């Protein structure tokens, strides 16, 4: 056991940028780093050393889920301490991404992967998302904006960037719970079509359409973007969906958008991006988003250029997603008395880790999120400056 303790002490000491306490299963405590401890890591039992070395993301993530490893302190700040230490072996995530089994994302597999995450249940997501159930980055015009305000800001911001006109057609690829297509129809009188692979989302969107009396303007389908045939649109938007496409399917996605978009049409992507190399975390792939791939911004721009689209605007909203995730994490904790009625502790700790780790990752710049606006062909009808996006 002495050898085990030395291994964990050496390993963990080099993982974090802040001083902390390490408490072992026998009650002994080590203080690691210089200065006052910012948090405490508790090992309730030994974790196989070979598992940590082979895949630390899954091993330590599972250890936290099952309470083999616990944290006293703010989980998000603990993970930020890990991410800001560039000398940590965890900063070399590319090594472990190779462990993810690469399977081509067929339509069936894509549907299975989406349902794995989004069909947990509308009642669950309703507990911690905003009133309109936007499961993507908000847009905070000021630091004091509420989550509801930030999400309304985001949807309106996207619709303004698209420069919508009454009577135009709009396709939303991965429409979620329908907030964007419903607002687009109400505010701009466009004919909006949404597609989703989640049966739970489909049901909720159809309920909203009927409640708003928008059956003539809004339609939603349970379909993959690759299944949309013999249709064309003035505008195509995709919010938080490209991350599910998979690396090998990125060129095909933009080719399909090209085929579906009318001449002079506009498309906007709102997606999580990698700084340099795209990929996924092995723990995230197993427990949260199977089959996901965060594309590198340079690859997205290249694929846009390959289709000869005109790139109009690229904007980073990285800090906005960090704050959005902090809001979700807070709402999730506040909803625990309800969550605990249907979910076990392992599930709760898994989601706590997911929300806090993602907030930390955006705050530390490990990943980014961009809104990318592009046109099919030359569009000289847009306003001369970006001011129209904010008016």
Residues annotated as catalytic are 358
Collapsing DSSP states into helix, strand and coil, what is residue 334? helix
Could you tell me which of 207, 206, 231, 232 has the C-alpha nearest to residue 219?
Answer: 206
How many angstroms separate the first and last alpha carbons of the chain?
Answer: 65
**Token pair for residue 372?**
């990318």
Residues in Cβ contact with 341 at an 8 Å cutoff, skipping those fewer than 6 apart: none
**Token pair for residue 145?**
């904006």
Residues in Cβ contact with 166 at an 8 Å cutoff, skipping those fewer than 6 apart: 188, 189, 190
Residue showing tokens 């904010």: 390
Going along the chain, which residue ranges are E strands? 20-23, 29-32, 40-43, 69-72, 169-173, 191-196, 218-222, 233-239, 261-274, 309-316, 367-376
131: exposed, middle or buried (Cβ count in 10 Å: 0-12, 13-18, 19+): exposed
DSSP tag of 89? G
**Helix (H), strand (E) at residue 122:** helix 122-126
DSSP tag of 320? H
């Amino acid at each position: 056991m002495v050898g085990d303790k030395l291994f964990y002490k050496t390993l963990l000491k080099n993982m974090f940028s802040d001083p902390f306490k390490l408490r072992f299963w026998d009650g002994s405590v080590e203080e690691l780093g210089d200065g006052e401890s910012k948090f405490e890591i508790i090992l309730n039992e030994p974790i196989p050393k070979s598992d940590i070395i082979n895949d630390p993301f899954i091993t330590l993530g599972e250890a936290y889920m099952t309470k083999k490893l616990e944290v006293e302190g703010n989980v998000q700040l603990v993970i930020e301490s890990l991410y800001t230490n560039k000398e940590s072996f965890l900063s070399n995530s590319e090594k472990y991404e190779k462990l993810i089994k690469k399977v081509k994302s067929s339509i069936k597999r894509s549907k299975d992967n989406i349902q794995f995450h989004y069909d947990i249940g509308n009642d669950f997501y309703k507990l911690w998302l905003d009133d309109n159930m936007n499961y993507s980055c908000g847009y905070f015009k000021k630091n004091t904006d509420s989550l509801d305000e930030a999400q309304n800001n985001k949807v309106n911001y996207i619709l303004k960037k698209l420069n919508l006109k009454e009577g135009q057609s709009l396709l939303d690829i991965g429409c979620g719970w329908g907030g964007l297509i419903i607002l687009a129809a109400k505010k701009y009188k466009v004919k909006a079509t949404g597609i989703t692979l989640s049966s739970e989302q489909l049901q909720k969107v159809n309920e909203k359409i009927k409640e708003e009396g928008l059956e003539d303007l809004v339609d939603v389908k349970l379909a993959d973007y690759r299944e949309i045939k013999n249709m064309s649109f003035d505008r195509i938007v995709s919010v938080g969906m490209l991350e599910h496409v998979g690396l090998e399917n990125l060129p095909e996605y933009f080719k399909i958008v090209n085929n579906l978009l009318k001449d002079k049409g506009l498309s906007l992507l709102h997606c999580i991006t990698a700084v340099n190399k795209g990929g996924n975390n092995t723990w995230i792939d197993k427990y949260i988003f199977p089959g996901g791939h965060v594309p590198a911004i340079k690859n997205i721009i290249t694929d846009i250029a390959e289709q000869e689209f005109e790139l109009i605007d690229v904007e980073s909203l990285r800090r906005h997603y960090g704050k959005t995730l902090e809001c979700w994490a807070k709402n999730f904790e506040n909803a625990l008395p309800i969550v605990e009625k249907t979910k076990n502790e392992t599930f709760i700790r898994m989601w706590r880790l997911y929300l806090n780790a993602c907030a930390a990752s955006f705050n530390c710049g490990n990943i980014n999120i961009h809104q990318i606006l592009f046109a099919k062909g030359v569009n000289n009808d847009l306003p001369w400056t970006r001011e129209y996006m904010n008016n």
